[in-house]
């Protein structure tokens, strides 16, 4: 999908209008060198319409701190807390390296629980919610496509409590502050003294998301652990 820039448009206003971010718009429009300078009449590509549907087989990509995602991922630091139907961490790992745009098209499991309309560059809460649903830790009505919305629902759920990162177990829900926005992933253990996470991350070259392991250094807003 594309949009012809009108007089008075700003990149931040367009990002808000189309449910994406300024960073994502700039990634899919590399001709934009200055996010504060766009020109009426130019065509702007909008992420989320056609990106992310190719097969990621055999590919690796940069993680959010500049390293490379290895095929085996991090080593776990103990067992995670399971729901009635299994571990959300194990469920997430079963979809490792799938593009969010492709996963949403699957007719069962996590793909069926993810909402198709969510743009392919902002599926982090969509994916985490679906994994929690599949594990039986939350209901379909608790599914939320926004980080703050999911955080609020977990705060209100007596089956979850906030814990410190040091006490986190694989599958715990970790909400982070990223620039002017938020990101949510699941804790995946420790590696070389660094916390590891799994989730739907913006690691594809077009700015769309793929299920991947990452180590991140963003400020953590909350860690929610399922109590059963």
Per the prediction, the chain carries an average pLDDT of 84
Per-residue pLDDT tens over the stretch 132-177: 999 999 999 999 999 999 999 999 999 999 999 989 999 999 999 9
Instruction: Work out the average pLDDT over 2-26.
Output: 85
Split at pLDDT 50, 70, 90, the class of 211 is very high
What is the distance between the alpha carbons of residues 17 and 132, in angstroms, rounded to a whole number?
A: 29
Q: Is 62 helix (H, G, I), strand (E, B) or coil?
A: strand
pTM reported for the whole predicted model: 0.69
Say whether pLDDT at 63 is over 50.
no
CA 196 to chain centre: 14
C-alpha distances in angstroms, 222 versus 53, 107, 109, 198? 31, 31, 26, 16
Predicted local distance difference test score (pLDDT) of residue 61: 32
* Helix-, strand-, coil-residue percentages of the chain, each rounded to 5: 25, 20, 55
Say whether pLDDT at 55 is over 90.
no
Say whether pLDDT at 48 is over 70.
no
Q: What percent of the chain has pLDDT over 70?
A: 86
Which has the closest alpha carbon to 113: 130, 137, 126? 130
Say whether pLDDT at 49 is over 70.
no
Per-residue pLDDT tens over the stretch 78-116: 678 899 999 999 999 999 999 999 999 888 999 999 998
Per-residue pLDDT tens over the stretch 17-39: 877 788 878 887 888 889 899 99
Q: Which residues contact 210 (CB under 8 A, 6 or more apart)?
A: 52, 56, 61, 97, 98, 99, 100, 200, 201, 203, 204
């Amino acid at each position: 999908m594309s949009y012809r820039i009108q007089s008075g448009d700003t990149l931040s206003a367009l990002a808000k209008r189309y449910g994406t971010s300024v960073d994502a718009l700039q990634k899919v429009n590399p001709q934009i060198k200055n996010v504060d300078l766009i020109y009426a009449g130019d065509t702007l590509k909008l992420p989320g319409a056609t990106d992310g549907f190719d097969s990621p087989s055999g590919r690796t990509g940069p993680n959010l701190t500049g390293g490379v995602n290895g095929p085996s991922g991090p080593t776990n630091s103990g067992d995670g807390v399971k729901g009635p139907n299994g571990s959300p961490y194990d469920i997430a790992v079963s979809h490792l390296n799938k593009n969010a745009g492709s996963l949403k098209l699957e007719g069962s499991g996590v793909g069926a629980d993810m909402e198709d309309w969510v743009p392919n560059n902002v599926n982090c809460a969509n994916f985490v919610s679906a994994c929690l649903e599949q594990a039986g830790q939350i209901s379909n009505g608790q599914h939320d496509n926004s980080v703050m919305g999911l955080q609020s629902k977990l705060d209100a759920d007596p089956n979850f409590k906030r814990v410190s990162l040091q006490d986190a177990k694989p599958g715990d829900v970790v909400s982070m502050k990223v620039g002017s926005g938020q990101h949510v992933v699941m804790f995946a253990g420790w590696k070389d003294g660094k916390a590891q996470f799994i989730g739907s991350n913006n690691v594809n070259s077009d700015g769309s998301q793929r299920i991947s392991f990452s180590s991140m250094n963003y400020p953590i807003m909350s860690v929610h652990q399922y109590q059963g």
